[in-house]
Structure 1
């Protein structure tokens, strides 16, 4: 059974850095608490043969800590933590999380946007990729101790899924579905 066993302040963070920003706005001195975090990539995967989105479901401890159900439905995604093209990072994440070896030429840049703007302002770059079974090399699920469930979401169910609050999801995924229906399958 999943449960929170301890919450404590970070002493030597690996992926984030808490900071306090001092700034002046309209001649008034202000300060803001923030976190420096990695930018990220996210990939909207559409399986052509199955007419389905390939999404992931995984436990997100901050959501779990605050809302007691931390399982989130998300796009395949990962942090930008190396000096290689973002499309290469996206390709690696699709292989690790979902099990498909998609050529970078099949990844279409969609847009970039900022996430968690009140706390970190990290930038996420969204890609779109069409896949089929010939690209599958394993079942996915992540690497190391990641526990990622790969889910097929029928394209016809996605519009209802966007607003179904029984499924916790990210706004980036909701926006990506809208983009798909406006630009790919309208």
Structure 2
């Protein structure tokens, strides 16, 4: 995994991916509020390689996961951080603490494409398989409720080694991120 260096916490005053909101309301006569984030909806694809008889997962560095581990090991990093007082992260952890194994997935950010077309694009970009839209079947759609909320559409895909168009030595390089597959879970 690539080296992570020169870490610095900075304010996020605007984002293409997150929008913070506060909902103020009355419940049974009591005034309340709830803070939340709006994010892009997304698609995820459960990929089964019939040639190898295994599921294909994406391995990638996730900065949010990494920073949760940094906070767990160095809680002082987030103490006294406000919009005027952000600093470098000293004594960074190895990148591997921010690596996840997950389903192939991507945000829904192309309004002219169907969810299935977006899913096919993600399978090609992240895993190197060219999957026709007709080979996908929607499993479910659901909302995830955490501090952020979004809709997610899950769909399965079966692939064979012969449809892998950009896989090279088990690794795909795209958009500055590194992906690889795990032969067996």
Q: Deviations over 1:69-109 (max 9, x none)?
A: 11010000000011121000000000000000000111111
Which of the numbers 76, 81, 90 marks the counterpart of 2:104?
A: 76
Instruction: Give the structure-1-normalised TM-score.
Output: 0.76
Name the structure where helix makes up a greater proportion of residues: 1
> Which residue of structure 2 lines up, in the alignment, with residue 134 of structure 1?
162
Q: Decide whether aligned partners of structure 1 residues 87 and 70 sit closer, same or farther in structure 2, where only a CA change above 3 A counts.
A: same
Instruction: Give the structure-2-normalised TM-score.
Output: 0.77
Higher CA-based Rg = 2
Q: Which structure carries more relative contact order (alpha carbon 8 Å, separation 6+)? A: 2
How many matched pairs? 153
In structure 2, stretches of 5+ residues that fail to align are 71-96
Q: Decide whether aligned partners of structure 1 residues 92 and 142 sit closer, same or farther in structure 2, where only a CA change above 3 A counts.
A: farther
In 2, Cα distance between equivalents of 1:90 and 1:142: 18
> Which residue of structure 2 lines up, in the alignment, with residue 106 of structure 1?
135
In 1, Cα distance between equivalents of 2:146 and 2:30: 19
In structure 1, stretches of 5+ residues that fail to align are 159-186
Aligned-pair RMSD on alpha carbons? 1.6
Equivalent residue of 1:82, what SS?
coil
Offset of residue 114 of structure 1: 2.2
